[in-house]
Structures are given as C-alpha cells and as structure tokens.
Amino acid sequence: MLDVNKILDMSITLTSEHDYNKILEKIVTCAMDLTNCEGGTLYLFRNERLEFMIMRNVDPEVQRRGGKAAPMELDEAKVCGYSAIHRTLVNVPDVYAENTDFDFSGPKKYDKMFGCRTMSMLAFPLINHEEKLIGVAQLLNARDENNELIAFTEEHEVLIRALASMAAVSLSNMQYIGQIKQLLHSIVNVFTNAIDARTPYNYYHSKHVHDLVVDFVEYSNTAEEGNGRHFDAGHREELELAALMHDIGKLVTPLDVMNKETRLAGRLEMVLNRLKYIRALKQIDFFEERCSKDEYNAEAEYIAKMTELILQINSAGFLEDAKEMQIKELAEKTYCDTDGTVLPYITPEETVCLLIKKGTLTDEEREIMKQHAVYTERFLTAMNFDEHYKNVRTWASNHHEFLNGTGYPKGLSGDDLPFEVRLLTIADVFDALTSDDRPYKRPHSKESAFHILSRMAEDGQIDEAVLAEFRQSIEWNEKRKENEN
C-alpha cells in the first residue's frame, strides 16, 4: 500500500533545501530511501547530453571507487538515454535477462570491476512544469524487507513519479535562482567596469577591493588561526556585491575632478604662459627705457623662481608652509597689461589650487568627489534589492564613514557602522594607498600602508580589531598563494 507519509516527508525534504549541490544529493538519497535500493545516479541534461552529477551506494567501497562518469550521449540503447529521449520511466527487472532491448554492457562491466551483481534497474526523467527535460536519475537493485534483491514494484514507480515531479520543480527553481543571480552579477560587473573605465587612474579599484574582501572571507572561513568569524554563502555574496558596487556613485562624478592629476591640472599652461607674458612686458619696458636693467633682471629672476616654485607645488604631495607663504605673496602681485588693465599674476581660482595643502583637489572639488557616496546610496536604493541583498546599499554607501564621526556623507559613528562597513572602509583605503596606477602619488608599500591605517585606528577613524584581522588575512593569503605556486 502506498505510504502517503513517505511522499509528504519527501516533499518537505526537497522544498526545504536551498543549496543546489545538496538538493542533487537529496534527490538521489530520497529515491533510494523510497525504493530501498542499493544505488542511485543522477544526470542533468545539458548541451544535448546527460552530464554525470552524483552517485551514491549503500556499499562504502563501491561508493568510494565509483568515481565520476563521463557525459552520456542520448542513445536509445542505454536505459538513461531511452528515458531521456522518450521522457518515460523505464523499469528493468533483471539486466541479465536475455530478452532485453537495452545495452547493459556498462553495468555488467561495473559488476566485474567491483564484484557486484546488478539485477533491477529503474530510470526516470525529471521534467519540469514547462515540459523541459532537466535530467535523468537511475536506481539499481531494489531490495525487500530482508534486503534480498527484487525488481522495482508498481508502488516504487508511483513513489518515484511523485519524486520526479517534485525534484524537477525544485531543480528548475534552483536553476532559475542561479540564472537570476548570474544576471544580477553580470549587471553589477557591467556597472563596475563602467565606473572604473571612466578613469585610467583607478581602473581596477573596485575589483581590487572585491578581491581583498574575498580573501578576508577565505581567511575567516578556513584558516586554523582565523578570527572565529564565519561567512555563509548568502552573507559572502551580499558582502561581495557591496564591495563591487561601493563606488557606483562615481558614474556621475565629473571626469575633470576624478582625473585631476595635479593641483592646477589644465590651468598650468595658462599660468606659465602668463608669467612668460609678464616677463616679456617687463622686457619691453626695459627696451623702451621705462625701467632699468636691474629692475628687469630682478623681475626676470623672480618670475623664473616663481615658475620653478609653481612646477614643484603643482605635483607635490604636500604643501610646505614656506612655499605656501610664497604663493600668497605671488597672489598679491599685479601687472599692467598693454591696455592699462591691472591684472593679478595668478587668479583667485589658480591661487586656491596652488594653496591645496594635501592632494590635488580644492575644497569645492573634494565636496564634489564626496558626493559619489550619496549617489551610491541613491542608485542602490533604486535597484530595489530583495531580502537576500537588503544590506548591500547600506554597506556600500557608508564605506567613507569613520568610527569617530568624521567621515562622510552622513557623519555616522560607532554602532551605526556594522562590521561589514568597517571592513570595506579598510579595504578601500588599503587599495587606494597601495595602488600603482595613480599618477598623482607614488604607491605605498604594504608596510607603509598599514602604518597609515594604524594611525587612522589610533585617531579613532577605523576599527583597530578589524584592521588586525584584515592584516592577518593579507599575510595568510600571501602564504597560501605562495604554496599553491
């Protein structure tokens, strides 16, 4: 008599599993349990052939030596091929019977190799709700309550047909989820490449931050001396997406800000030409006896000195106080143009650029650059992530926030910043410091970068404990990759 409880238990088992590989195994083990058989094999239909996925056997030795079978072409002479082609269940009471239409050379060879006796065989197709063939499963050697080999019964067939229907739907759902995830990741990669491709100066930045996060997860999940933190598949995927999309807001950052290599950038040539022009005007004054030779020489020497100063400051990492005073003095100087107009040696805009204390951006340009974090949150909010990715927006958009509240764009602090944000912040800064594709600065060594990060931790900007874990993950992964090579 058909056991309804078995079908209910089977349904719960299949629908409660969300891991693709585990669901494949459960299909085989459920089929074996329902029929009390010795072994089962599952193939998925891909590229017009059956690809081996999993094999299970009650005999541990057979299980161990079973290995992985080669893909199977669709052949009506093979039981699985016939089942796939005709989409029907095939029940073979005895593979050694003489009046069979199938080629059982494979099972017979298998029997000789392992000293087994294959008797009954049951193959059944997995067909989803769209009538698409998902795969084929094959069972071997049904047994009675005394574990004696028997043929698969009609009750077995009923149970297996129910299992096949549920399994096909479960596999289809898992495949659809996989396809949706692949689509999401491909869209994310397109965005990431578009962001990084806008400027040659951080082309691999998003990828590097992502890789640093992946290495951290690997260290946390597998290292013996790890930090005790474990990332399951969903947590890991969510964190990786946040790492890839943390700079998505840079899609709207002006390129003249993103690509600004020096303080003056495109203004440099205009400044230098103006100084040459002023010197030429002074030279004309000398020729026309409106100034002495000493006055002209003094002006020429001053302009040469200022030209050299401007060239130094334009590409310097940090503006020294003495040079700052010289620029302020230069900004106060004026000259009289040929039409009598009095003009400054350097304009207010040029002065602001030259007086940048550190880096290449003015305060106004820095505020424009900071807006990318605002746009990151705005864009990711519009993407309407579901429950599985609910944290991506928060983690990605807050990677410039600091624990002491001095970050941007919201000035968050302390408990407002979860571990994932703290990790992304450190990975982002580390890559920015060590990157060798920034023309406006030399890359820091790993040790120098960690020295700077340590100072940031001392100042309360980043998490000291997470920084220690991050450094350990860098060192652990370096050793792992060396051993792999």
Give the pLDDT confidence of 146-167 residue by residue, as tens digits.
989 999 999 999 989 988 888 8
Residue 344 is predicted with a pLDDT of 96
Residue 472 lies in a domain: yes
The whole-chain average pLDDT of the chain stands at: 88
Q: Which of 360, 384, 412 is the last residue of a domain?
A: 360
The CB-side HSE value for 266 (13 A sphere, CA atoms) comes to 5
One domain for residues 43 and 148: yes
Interaxial angle between packed helices 293-315 and 321-332, expressed in degrees from 0 to 180 and rounded to the nearest 10? 130
Q: In this structure, are 28 and 54 located in the same domain?
A: yes
Query: CA-CA distance, 203 to 211, in Å (whole number)?
Result: 14
| DSSP labels, 93-147 | S-TT-SS-SS--HHHHHHHHHHT-----EEEEEEE-TTS-EEEEEEEEEEE-TT-
Angle 405-416-420 from CA coordinates, rounded to 5°: 105
Is position 191 within any domain? Answer: no
What is the rounded average pLDDT of the residues 93-117? 82
pLDDT band for position 387 (cuts 50, 70, 90): confident
Nearest Cα neighbor of 207 from 171, 180, 245, 261 is 245
Q: Which residue has the higher pLDDT, 485 or 428?
A: 428
Q: Average of pLDDT values for 477-482?
A: 86
Specify if 187 maps to a domain.
no
**Same domain as 356, residue 374:** no
Do 141 and 14 fall within a single domain? yes
Residues 22 and 149 both lie in one domain: yes
190 within some domain: no
For residue 59, what pLDDT band results from cuts at 50, 70 and 90?
confident
First-to-last CA distance in the chain? 60
If asked whether residues 66 and 172 sit together in one domain, one would say: yes
> How far is it, in rounded angstroms, from Cα 406 to Cα 244?
24
Considering 50-59, 89-98, 157-166, 463-472, the range whose residues carry the highest mean pLDDT is 463-472
Same domain? 130 vs 274: no
Q: What is the pLDDT of residue 1?
A: 44
By the 8 A CB rule, do 137 and 123 touch? yes
- Which tens digits make up the pLDDT trace of 305-318? 999 999 999 988 88
Q: Kindly report, residue by residue over 307-353, the tens digit of the pLDDT.
A: 999 999 998 888 999 999 999 999 999 999 999 999 999 999 999 99
Cα distance between residue 319 and residue 314, in whole Å:
9
SS3 322: helix
Would residue 184 count as lying in a domain?
no
Instruction: Single out the residue of 174, 165, 172, 170 nearest to residue 7, CA to CA.
Output: 165
Choose the final residue of a domain: 176, 208, 234. Answer: 176
What's the domain range around 441? 198-252+370-484
pTM of the model as a whole: 0.71
**Rounded to an integer, what distance in angstroms lies between the CA atom of residue 334 and that of residue 354?**
17
Q: Six-digit token pair at 309?
A: 């100063």
- What own/partner pairs with CB < 8 Å and gap ≥ 24 does 180-189 have? 181/237, 184/241, 185/241, 188/241, 188/244, 188/245, 189/244
The rounded distance, in Å, linking the Cα atoms of 195 and 210 is 14
Give the per-residue pLDDT at 437.
64
Q: Quick one: 309 and 414 in the same domain? A: no
User: How would you label 105-131 residue by residue, b for 16+ Cβ within 10 Å and e otherwise?
Assistant: eebeebbeeeebebbbbbbbbbbbeee
Which CATH number does the domain housing residue 378 bear? 1.10.3210.10
pLDDT number for residue 12: 73
Q: Is the dihedral of CA 443, 448, 450, 455 positive or negative?
A: negative
Domain containing 63 — which CATH number? Answer: 3.30.450.40
Residues 47 and 149 in one domain: yes
97 and 167 fall within a common domain: yes
Query: Is the residue at 444 inside a domain?
Result: yes
Three-class SS of residue 73? strand
Which of 360, 380, 398 is where one domain is finished?
A: 360
Tokens encoding 228 = 């005790």
- Assess if residue 183 is contained within a domain: no
φ/ψ (deg, to 5) at 342 = -90, 125
- The rounded distance, in Å, linking the Cα atoms of 46 and 296 is 85
Query: Could you tell me if 104 and 170 lie in one domain?
Result: yes
* Domain assignment of residue 87, yes or no: yes
From the list 419, 414, 415, the residue with the least C-alpha distance to 395 is 419
Number of domains in the chain: 3
- On whether both 203 and 304 belong to a single domain, the answer is no
